[in-house]
Structure 1
Amino acid sequence: MISRRWYVIGGLALVLWLLHSVQPILSPFLVSMLLAYLGDPLVDRLERLGLSRTLSVLIVYLIFLLILLGLLLIIVPLLFRQLMRLYELMPLMLDWLQFKALPWIQVNLGLADSFWRFDRIKAVISSHLDRTTDIVGIIVAQATTSGLAILGWLGNALLIPVVSFYLLRDWDVMVARLHSLLPRRHEALVNRLVRDCHEVLGAFLRGQLMVMVGLGVIYAVGLMLVGLELGLLIGTLAGLASIVPYMGFAIGLTAAMIAGFFQFGLEGYSLLAILAVFVTGQMVEGMLLTPLLVGDRIGLHPVAVIFAVLAGGQLFGFSGILLALPVAAIMMVLLRHVHDLYKLSDLYSKPRDVSEPPDTA
């Protein structure tokens, strides 16, 4: 007779195979689930004020829509303009590398004169500078060669608000139905594991995302006040990279120092001001943002975060990146439970001395 354990393993393998098979259409549903999970506490709070579930969902939708419109109308054009500025500054950076930095390295390391080949890179970039205004046209021209891909992308983009609306409206109903299907013998254990997973996921998805936004605002506003031309772009990238602790600080500070060097030269006050912006951001994160918004409930090591994102992208593409951190958080909760069971098992306990009398109790 086949053990029940093999049925469970076969079921898990079937689920993984199905996820891999429907990967091309999985992304909009994952994004919708993420939006519904993030918006459910807001909807529940509005329901406690006496509003209906549908009206509460519409109000939360309006909030999300206003935030999205603000990003599209204000931040995105500024970021695009700074990307164009970075594209124009690349030949200057290559000049500095070719005529100052690399000769110094060449002399001190004793490299051959023909070791560096930056002339070709500079020529390619410089030849495209006079066509920076046509970049959007080039992108559109290339994209139109795959019309079906564009239609699929637009279909997915239009599918996200529809699916997320129904998921958000029926979220509590779906959770209640899943709870009713739990085996009664293991209901307490499953409830405790789900509660722990919800605590970790809520702390990460809501808390860490708010920390990323806060750091991005601090870095971007601070760098723009210093006068750095690429301040908004670097600050935004540093905030996004803050999903891994200290990575945003390292990447942002390095990029800002390089950009500040090309803009201000060796002017000490400007470079010190850039350093002060990132030090201030780290202090605000460590003393205010992380303790207030995240706390110590996540427990995901930075190395685990990096591995989860890379492994998810390698296995399932963009869908895997969306699933990586939630799956890693759930696995961490399960491993904690297994760790507790192991500490209580006979395998871990100290062997009893044979000279001791047996415990008659």
Structure 2
Amino acid sequence: MTDSNRWLWLAGVFFSGWLVYLLMPILSPFLIGILLAYLGDPLVDRLEARGLSRTWGVIAVFALFGLLLVLALLFLLPSLGRQLVHLYELAPQMLDWLQQVVLPWVQVKLGLAKGFWHLEQLKSMFVGQLDKTTNVLTQLLSQATASGLALLAWLGNLLLVPVVSFYLLRDWDILVAKLRTLLPRRREGVVVGLVGECHEVLGAFLRGQMLVMLALGVVYALGLMLVGIDLGLLIGLLAGLASIVPYMGFVVGIGAALVAALFQFGGDPYPLIGVVAVFSVGQLLEGMLLTPLLVGDRIGLHPVAVIFAVLAGGQLFGFTGVLLALPVAAVIMVLLRHVHDLYKLSDLYGESGQGDSSGGSVEPPGPT
């Protein structure tokens, strides 16, 4: 590649990044639509292989997604909303319990000075906010009226998501084939190989890990509700969402569930044993069945890399960055593996064995 071509490519990359930065306010529905189309493409391909046309396969997948959304709206969201309100109402009582029961016990065990803990200000803040709950609906209506154009724009973006998803899902294979025809002929094999590896990583993570999160959320929520935890649905779903990072869902979920069980049942050991049993069963299912079956071992994303990617994406590009963080991180990991292989084959890597700092040669070790 000549110097002029390099500068042309750099200018193109810079211009593309600048354009994406300018268009960020309208990119969210398109990114969500691309994500839904990518997740739904294997289902449509299977229906198409069984004799359905591409359009009817897309309609069937959309009907399935719509049915799941309606069921969630009818059954899940009302219960979840009630538990959120219940948690908000219990906050002052939990602070009292924390201040009068838990913290004195910790204080005695650790030998801390009397009056070490002070939660009166936090408690008064929660109580003051609870007095204003009757005006929440009025405030929301006033905000919606004052920012009517913003609300209409948000609703427009929300309605745009299924439209974008439908057309992308219907023409997904055509778009992929056209993009492949644009590749340089001499580099087509290399690029197709890299894209194939990225597809494996993205597919394993986006489809597999999301299914694992959903399954764990259901297992945790049902188990905690069977144990009798009042906030079981909320804690279970929170633990399922946190499972996007390995072991974080277990740590967050069992910690919150044990605190909720201690607050609700006091020192009764049976609910605590039940909570430990629920999360132990969830971990066994995840390690022995869900992750090997749905995800496999091809992700290559370290838990620390997942956390950093999400935080960095949100810091740099807001909600759009959060949506792009994990796919971009997965692609970067694939590319870095190839860069590592090229570096191991390069002359730069081999220079370390040609001499030392004193100028003498370094002989390779002989056979043992």
Task: Please list the CA deviations of residues 7-47 of structure 1 after superposition, one character each: whole Å capped at 9, or x if unmatched.
Answer: 22222222111111111111000000000001111111111
CA–CA separation in structure 2 for the residues paired with 1:110 and 1:248:
32
Amino acid at match of 2:181: S
Whole-angstrom distance in 1 between the partners of 2:280 and 2:362: 62
Residues 56-94 of structure 1, C-alpha deviation per residue, up to 9 Å, x if partnerless? 111111011001111111101010010011111111111
- Contact map agreement 1:203 1:294 (CA 8 A) in 2: yes
Q: Tell me the SS of whatever aligns to 1:244.
A: coil
> 1:211: which partner in 2?
212
8 Å contact from structure 1 (residues 84, 132) kept in 2:
no
Name the residue aligned to 2:346: 345
Aligned Cα RMSD in Å?
Answer: 2.1
Correspondence for 2:311: 310
Is 1:167–2:159 an aligned residue pair?
A: no
Contact preservation (8 Å) 1:38, 1:206? yes
The change in CA–CA distance for 1:231 and 1:133 in structure 2 (over 3 A counts) is farther
Alignment-derived partner of residue 366 in structure 2: none
Q: Percent identity?
A: 63
Alignment of 1:172-251 (within 5 A): 172-251=173-252
- Partners in 2 of 1:177 and 1:347 — Cα distance? 38
Partners of 1:137 and 1:42 in 2: how far apart? 44
CA distance in 2, matches of 1:270, 1:355: 66
- 2:153 corresponds in structure 1 to 152
Distance 1:329 1:123 in 2: 46
Deviation of 1:201 after TM superposition, in Å, equals 0.4
2-structure distance, mates of 1:34, 1:70: 22
* 1:119 Cα offset (Å): 2.3
Cα shift at 1:124: 3.2
TM-aligned CA deviation for residue 209 of structure 1: 0.3
Structure 1 stretches of 5 or more lacking a match? 357-361
State the match for 1:69 in structure 2. 70
Q: What TM-score, normalized to structure 2?
A: 0.91
Q: Aligned to 2:39, what secondary structure does the other structure show?
A: helix
SS at match of 2:349: coil
Aligned residue type for 1:10: A
Q: Give the match for residue 264 of structure 2.
A: 263
- Paired with 2:288 and 2:317, the residues of 1 have a C-alpha distance of 37
Partner AA of 1:91 in structure 2 = P
Gaps of 5+ in 2: 356-360, 364-368
1:3 is paired with a residue of what secondary structure?
helix
Distance in 1, Cα, partners of 2:333 & 2:237: 29
Paired with 1:38 and 1:59, the residues of 2 have a C-alpha distance of: 14
> Shift in Å at residue 110 of structure 1?
4.6
Q: Once the two structures are superposed, what CA deviation does each residue of 1:234-253 show, in whole Å capped at 9, x if it has no partner?
A: 00000001000000000001
Structure 2 CA distance for partners of 1:117 and 1:146, relative to 1, 3 Å: farther
Q: Deviations over 1:333-354 (max 9, x none)?
A: 0001111111111222365698
| 2:290 alignment counterpart | 289
* Paired residue type of 1:162: V
Following the alignment from structure 1 to structure 2, what is the Cα–Cα distance between the partners of residues 288 and 135?
A: 44
How far is the alpha carbon of 1:127 from its aligned partner?
A: 3.9
| Stretch moving more, 62-71 or 120-129 | 120-129
Change (3 A) 1:20 1:272: same
Change (3 A) 1:144 1:119: farther
Report which stretch shifted further, 43-52 or 4-13: 4-13
After superposition, give the CA deviation of every residue in 1:309-361 in whole Å (9 maximum; x if it has no partner).
000000110010000000000000000111111111122236569899xxxxx
Does residue 1:336 correspond to 2:345, yes or no?
A: no
TM-score (norm 1): 0.93
Q: What is the SS of the residue equivalent to 2:244?
A: coil
* Alpha-carbon distance in 2 for matches of 1:130, 1:316: 37
Counterpart Cα distance in 2 of 1:341 and 1:95 = 61
CA–CA distance in structure 1, aligned partners of residues 294 and 256 of structure 2: 27
Task: Please name the residue that 1:99 is paired with.
Answer: 100
Within 2, Cα distance between the matches of 1:161 and 1:200? Answer: 25
| Aligned AA (2:90) | L
Aligned: 1:118 with 2:116: no
User: Which portions of structure 1, spanning 4 or more consecutive aligned residues, are displaced by more than 6 angstroms?
Assistant: 352-356
* Cα distance in 1 between the residues matched to 2:32 and 2:233: 26
CA shift, 1:129, in A, is 3.6
The alpha-carbon distance between structure 1 residues 145 and 118, as it changes in their structure 2 partners (threshold 3 A), is farther
> Any idea what the Cα deviations from partners look like across 1:208-249, whole Å, max 9, x if unmatched?
000000100110000001011000000000000100000000
CA distance in 2, matches of 1:259, 1:139: 30
Q: Which moved more, 1:10-19 or 1:186-195?
A: 10-19
Q: Which residue in the other structure is 2:20 paired with?
A: 19
Alignment of 1:23-102 (within 5 A): 23-102=24-103
The residue type equivalent to 1:315 in the other structure is L
